[in-house]
Structure 1
Amino acid sequence: MARTTSRHRTKLSLASAAVAVALGFATWTGWSWYGAAHDDSAHFAQTRDEVLAAGEQAALNMNTLDHRDLERGLDAWEQSATGDLLDELRKGRPEFEKQVRTARTVTTADVLSGAVTELDEREGRAGVLIAVRITVDPPKKKPSTKESRLLGELTRTGDGWKLSGLGQAPAGETPTDNPSD
């Protein structure tokens, strides 16, 4: 009988140890999950992804325009912009409409790559570098394609991230034929 009690105590000790290990593992797993879910870097990464998606979409919108559906294209430009850029687009819209209708072009863009170059969540500002391939298809002529790198500034608005500035990225310097000594 002493032997049975000893076995019973051994089994009880092993079961208690297994429960303690399982409880410790569950606690560690729960704490790790909570920490990851509330980590600032996860929120920052999500915001960075939102900025990049908004920047890429805005670059597409600003480089896509079809003379046959001009209103929708120019509306997409305005919906992608905010601040001074939006003001410039609205101010120049009548003249630009006239130029596109006269030229009768269809311009399309494809994003080749993009990156967030700056992100200040507190101030609601960001910068992106977007590489695009732009194809211009004029009437009765062969389409032309060029690749371009764009620098965009984005501002957080009540409707999400919008372009507040857009321009060509500098291409860098080229070596001169006669370097100075």
Structure 2
Amino acid sequence: MARSGRLDPLTAVALALTTAAAGWAGWSGWDWYAAAHDDTAAYAAERDRVLAAGRQAVLNLNTLDHRDLARGLDTWEDSATGELREQLTEGRGEFERQIQRARTVTSAKVLAGSVTELDTRAGRAGVMIALRITVAAPKTESVRKESRMLGELTRTPDGWKLSALAQPPVGAVPPG
């Protein structure tokens, strides 16, 4: 302090910079704390997990090779839960006979996908997946078609799995 009771300019600038730095540090700390405790990031990460699981499960259930049928059907069952898994398991024998007779190879490619709903508390989610499906059979040309699938997923101890899968009616808009 100067003798006249006033701050000298250097002390005033240092005091102003110290006050600004303390204010910035306080604001940054609060912002970091709020971001670390915000549910938005966790929800977004869960949505990404649902979409990845939905894309993979729908892809799995639209891919099957008669030459490696057991593994393909095991993958179908591993991708599903609940009633859908029960239907796949119960109908497996008849389905194996049909595919072996037809000798088809079905492959799919995911074109796009989105989460249509997500309830993390209930462990339920919905996805819409656009696919290109190619079916090849002996002595015929491959058939390629594009399709949309609506899937319902349920959270299990092993992650998100399909609990229902269907094609939406033409012109249907998913909930959301």
Fold conserved between structures, TM > 0.5: yes
Residue aligning to 1:92: 91
Residue aligning to 2:12: 13
Q: Distance in 1 between matches of 2:23 and 2:68?
A: 64
What secondary structure is seen at the aligned counterpart in 1 of 2:169? coil
Q: Deviations over 1:2-30 (max 9, x none)?
A: 79x99x84222212221221121122112
What secondary structure is seen at the aligned counterpart in 2 of 1:123? coil
Q: Distance in 2 between matches of 1:100 and 1:34?
A: 57
What secondary structure is seen at the aligned counterpart in 2 of 1:81? coil
Q: Distance in 2 between matches of 1:137 and 1:147?
A: 15
Return structure 1 stretches of 4+ with deviation > 6 angstroms.
none
Residue aligning to 1:30: 29
Count residues with an aligned counterpart: 170
Give, in angstroms, the shift of residue 125 of structure 1.
0.6
Matches within 5 A, 1:121-140: 121-140=120-139
Q: Distance in 1 between matches of 2:94 and 2:77?
A: 15
Residue aligning to 2:145: 146
Q: Distance in 2 between matches of 1:15 and 1:72?
A: 72
What residue ranges of structure 2 are gaps of 5+ in the alignment?
A: 172-176
Give, in angstroms, the shift of residue 127 of structure 1.
0.9
Q: Distance in 1 between matches of 2:104 and 2:12?
A: 82
Percent same amino acid at aligned positions? 62
Residue aligning to 1:81: 80
Residue aligning to 1:117: 116
Residue aligning to 1:67: 66
TM-score, normalization by structure 2? 0.89
Q: Distance in 1 between matches of 2:117 and 2:158?
A: 20
Q: Deviations over 1:29-67 (max 9, x none)?
A: 121122122211221111111111111111100000111
Give, in angstroms, the shift of residue 70 of structure 1.
1.2
**1:76 corresponds to which letter in structure 2?**
T
TM-score, normalization by structure 1? 0.87
What secondary structure is seen at the aligned counterpart in 2 of 1:141? coil
Flag the structure with higher helix content. Answer: 1
RMSD, aligned α-carbons: 1.9
Matched, 1:51 2:50: yes
Residue aligning to 1:178: none
